[in-house]
Structure 1
Amino acid sequence: MAKVLMKGNEAIGAAAIKAGCKYFFGYPITPQNELPEFMSKELPKVEGVFVQAESEVAAINMIYGGAGTGARVMTSSSSPGMALKQEGISYIAGAELPCVIVNISRGGPGLGGIQPSQADYFMSTRGGGNGDYRHLVYAPATIQEAVDLTIEAFNVADYYRNPVLILADGMTGQMMEPVEFNEPTKRDLPAKDWATTGTKGKRKPNIINSLALDPAELEKHNWRLDAKYKDMEKKEVRHEMYQMDDAEVVFVAYGTTSRIVKNAVDALREEGIKAGLIRPITLWPFPMKAFTDIPESAKAIISVEMSTGQMVDDVKIANEGRLPVHFYGRPGGMIPSPEEIMKNAKEILGGVK
């Protein structure tokens, strides 16, 4: 299949349509605006529907309704808008409805700025809504990977009856790269006999909600959800190990930051410093096992993020005290350079006995 040059936001939209998405509900916010704009033009061509809601809160509740019919649905936003969607995401997870949610993140807190950031890690992986719930979080590093993971996300959402989040920063949304549209991993997907499609007098009505006033029933529901999340942790973890066989300093980075770190790794190796990278592709489930595979040559771990430090907490948990864990970050929409990452690594290695 021939590759086509596309902007990240538009490529994600095209991937969603290829995956069978027919309904998009969203609201404008920079730097993801090209995604809903693309869907508004392209969905009618496949007999789909685009709705610009009156707010992010309205959009996520429209997703709840659309997903309840069994249709493949998607919404997208950026950081402050995602904060408004959190209550709805909790409802969707509690009601066990499949959908795909895209966050093209920007700097914060509050309105912040429109430059790329990775400060939504906590909100994305811990869940900003109420209650015990989880959802998969994919963190693409390239536009091609964003395309592949978006297509895969719809199948994963249907397989688990659960929302799936694509977390990419504004850089991924705005840059252009050549992409092709590949088929996702084959899965045997369950029938959607739970959907609210009308009974036609042949069955009892399906009722979809997340309300359980009987605490015993709610506890039972929560444990069943927990078992599903544990199944995700066993089956859905993804990560990349780069130059890790003999690494002395181990970087951990995701998304576009990982691309910058790869340049730093290569440059450090040219100077005789053996550097490597663990790149989480799923932020939840986090690739814990990757840290047990770190070679004995390693002296330190450095989490590099476009934030004041969020993923570093998961790095420390996964490391289990085996190696010193350090952090290097640039928050507020600032982007680290390979040179400053290299300098930080040299300073740390100089201080490690």
Structure 2
Amino acid sequence: MGKILMKGNEAIGAAAIKAGCKYFFGYPITPQNELPEFMSRELPKLGGVFVQAESEVSAINMIYGAAGSGVRTMTSSSSPGLALKQEGISYIAGAELPCVIVNISRGGPGLGGIQPSQADYYMCTRGGGNGDYRHVVYAPATLQEAVDLTMEAFDIADYYRNPVIILADGMTGQMMEPVEFKETTKRDMPAKDWAATGTEEKRDPNIINSLFLDPVELEQHNFKLDKKYKAIEEKEVRCEMYKMEDAELVMVAYGTTSRIVKNAIDALREENIKVGLLRPITLWPFPNREFTELPSSTKALLTVEMSMGQMIDDVKIANEGRLPVHFYGRAGGMIPTPEAIIEKAKEILGGAK
């Protein structure tokens, strides 16, 4: 199959179906509505199930139930909707259930607006629910990457028995680009012998649960989860380096903001100003190691975000005080321009020389 021109929300839905998703539970909210609309139309054709729940809280608990039976399942929402799902996501992580959660984020806080934003970084990378848990967070920059990462997300979720979030902003959901649905390299997946599928095979019943009233048992469960998270940090970090070989200023940006930053970098390079990009593709696990391998020419870091500066915390942690860290951001649905980023870069390098 060749490339197909698709809207981002629909491309993510098509990728999920190709990855084997058969069950979708969600609730409408702009700017992700085309995704559940697509799933409502296409899943029944393949024997799958689409349910528009009465609320986001209901939807995430339906995901809990479906994931507990071992099937591939997904939900999608946008910022305030994802906030409502956080309790359920904590339960899912605690019960070690695989699922994929898509957040086509919008401006906030509160109901905010429907324009694109990256102000859900804290919520998605730290986890808005209770307890010690993590989930893998992918941040696609293009629709092709959104397709590829969505398909990979289902494998990662099954492999580690853990929820995976696709964090994209409203631009990714609403823009149109050509995409290709390529065959992916399959992992050797563990058997789903933990799933609650009935006991006709004469086995002991499986119990899907995140409740441990014995604190000793709960601590051991947390140690087990932590061991899994450390394995994910070791094996699943993804990032892109762009024009980094001699960079004096390294910009750090993710998602669609990174595309704007690349335009700024290309323009700066034409003026012989040496700037590069470190783009986290996994927001968790964050590419900490890559910050220890920056070129010796690097004098400073510039974090660029569509928020008031949430990823900058992880940049500072990864940097470990080695270099000055600067920030440029727009908020509330406003989008950074290459011109403003160029001006900020010149200001930083002018001050550094």
Q: TM-score, normalised by structure 2?
A: 0.99
Cα shift readout 1:39-76 (whole Å, capped 9, x = no counterpart): 00000011000000000000000000000000000000
CA deviation after TM superposition for structure 1 residue 217, in Å? 0.2
Q: Distance in 2 between matches of 1:185 and 1:12?
A: 18
- The corresponding residue for 2:75 is 75
Secondary structure of 2:39 counterpart: helix
Residue type of the partner of 2:49?
Answer: V
Q: What SS does the aligned partner of 1:12 have? A: helix
Residues 112-136 of structure 1 show CA distances to partners (whole Å, capped at 9, x for unaligned) of 0000000000000000000000010
1:235 and 1:137 map into 2 onto residues whose CA distance is 14
Whole-Å Cα distance in 2 between the matches of residues 208 and 259 of structure 1?
Answer: 42
Q: Displacement, 1:98?
A: 0.2
Q: State the Cα distance separating 1:201 from its structure 2 match.
A: 5.4
> SS of 2:297's equivalent?
coil
Match of 2:352 in 1: 352
1:19 aligns with 19
Cα shift readout 1:162-213 (whole Å, capped 9, x = no counterpart): 0000000000000000000112232110000111110015111110100000
Q: Which residue of 1 aligns with 2:293?
A: 293
Matches within 5 A, 1:304-323: 304-323=304-323
CA contact (8 A) 1:152 1:185 kept: no
- Match in the other structure for 1:190: 190
Corresponding position of 2:339: 339
What residue number does 1:234 align with?
Answer: 234
Following the alignment from structure 1 to structure 2, what is the Cα–Cα distance between the partners of residues 54 and 256? 32
Q: Is the Cα contact below 8 Å between 1:23 and 1:73 reproduced in 2?
A: yes
Q: Output the CA distance in 1 between the equivalents of 2:352 and 2:181.
A: 46
Q: 1:21·1:72 contact (CA, 8 Å) conserved in 2? A: yes
Secondary structure in structure 2 of the residue aligned to 1:196:
coil
Partner residue, 2:114? 114
Which residue in the other structure is 2:55 paired with? 55
Aligned residue type for 2:320: E
1:1-353 to 2 correspondence within 5 Å? Answer: 1-200=1-200, 202-353=202-353
Give the 3 Å change call, closer, same or farther, for CA 201–289 of structure 1 in structure 2: closer
Quote the offset at 1:348 in angstroms.
Answer: 1.0
Query: How many residue pairs end up in the alignment?
Result: 353
> Which amino acid is the alignment partner of residue 83 of structure 1?
A
Counterpart CA distance in 2 for 1:274 and 1:142 is 25
CA separation in 2, counterparts of 1:67 and 1:211? Answer: 17
SS at match of 2:24: strand
The alignment-based identity, stated in percent, is 82
Question: What is the Cα deviation at residue 159 of structure 1?
Answer: 0.2
Gaps of 5+ in 2: none
Deviation of residue 264 (structure 1)?
0.3
C-alpha separation in 2, matches of 1:320 and 1:131: 26
Q: What is the CA RMSD across the aligned residues, in angstroms?
A: 0.6
Separation (CA, whole Å) in 2 of partners of 1:215 and 1:74: 32
SS of the equivalent of 1:25 reads strand
- Return the alpha-carbon distance in structure 2 between the equivalents of residues 113 and 159 of structure 1: 36
Per-residue deviation, residues 241-288 of structure 1 (Å, max 9, x unmatched): 000000011000000000000000000000110110000000000001
Question: 2 CA distance for matches of 1:168 and 1:224?
Answer: 30
Partners of 1:205 and 1:154 lie apart in 2 by 25
The amino acid across from 1:251 in the alignment is: M
Q: Distance in 1 between the 2:112 and 2:104 partners?
A: 14
Q: Counterpart amino acid of 2:169?
A: D
Instruction: Name the SS for the 1:193 alignment partner.
Output: coil
Aligned partner letter, 1:179: V
Unaligned runs of 5+ in 1: none
**Range with greater deviation from structure 2 (323-332 or 288-297):** 288-297
Deviation per CA, 1:216-240, whole angstroms, max 9, x where unpaired? Answer: 0000000000000000000000000
Q: Give me the whole-angstrom Cα distance separating, in 2, the residues matched to 1:346 and 1:137.
A: 32
TM-score by length of structure 1 reads 0.99
Helix, strand or coil for the counterpart of 1:153?
helix
For residues 38 and 115 of structure 2, what CA distance do their matches in structure 1 show? 21
